[in-house]
Amino acid sequence: MRRNEHELTDQERIDTLIGSCQVCRLGFVDGDRPYIVPLNFGYAREGGRRIFYFHGAREGRKMELARRNGTAGFELDTAHELHEGDAACSYSFRYQSVIGSGTVRELTDPEEKRRALTCIMEHYTGKTDWEFPDAALGRTAVLALTVEELAAKVRE
């Protein structure tokens, strides 16, 4: 990180920052081109590891790349605020962001999928008492990204 004074290292604060975000962007390598997709997500700390959960259709470019590559980059950001200045170069922008990469795997076990989908729903609703019928689980792909690298930055 070039600007170390903006680096966020407090692990609890990083978790809080992630929890305040609404969208996680996943980045995949597709041949010689990047492919980035914004997704709803769930987030958990399990055994000291950070894990993001995503859901979607069982087929499509995202799933094809996740299955083929097994890795992805990710980015989240929040708390955006423009601070005006007297001249163009004196304007600044406040934000909080997290970037990183990790391994991606498709969840196939129905109970794992239920836990991941509950995590996603909890992130947006605060509730955990959801039911996911077997038919819906069969139609839904669920990805788990286990974080291997992470950096957080805050500009206040």
Place of tokens 């081109």: 33
pTM: 0.93
Residue 19, Cβ density class (10 Å: 0-12 exposed, 13-18 middle, ≥19 buried): exposed
Rounded Cα gap, residues 69 and 33, in angstroms: 13
* pLDDT at site 3: 57
* pLDDT at site 81: 87
* One pLDDT digit (tens) per residue for the chain, 156 residues: 455 778 999 999 999 999 999 999 999 999 999 999 999 999 999 998 999 999 999 999 999 999 999 999 999 999 988 988 999 998 988 999 999 999 999 999 999 999 999 999 999 999 999 999 999 999 999 999 999 999 999 998
In the chain the domains, ranked by start, together with CATH numbers, are 7-155 (2.30.110.10)
Which runs of consecutive H residues, i.e. helices, occur in the chain? 11-20, 61-69, 110-125, 134-139
* pLDDT at site 98: 98
* pLDDT at site 1: 47
For residue 47, the SS3 value is: coil
Question: Which helix (H) or strand (E) covers residue 21, if one does?
Answer: none
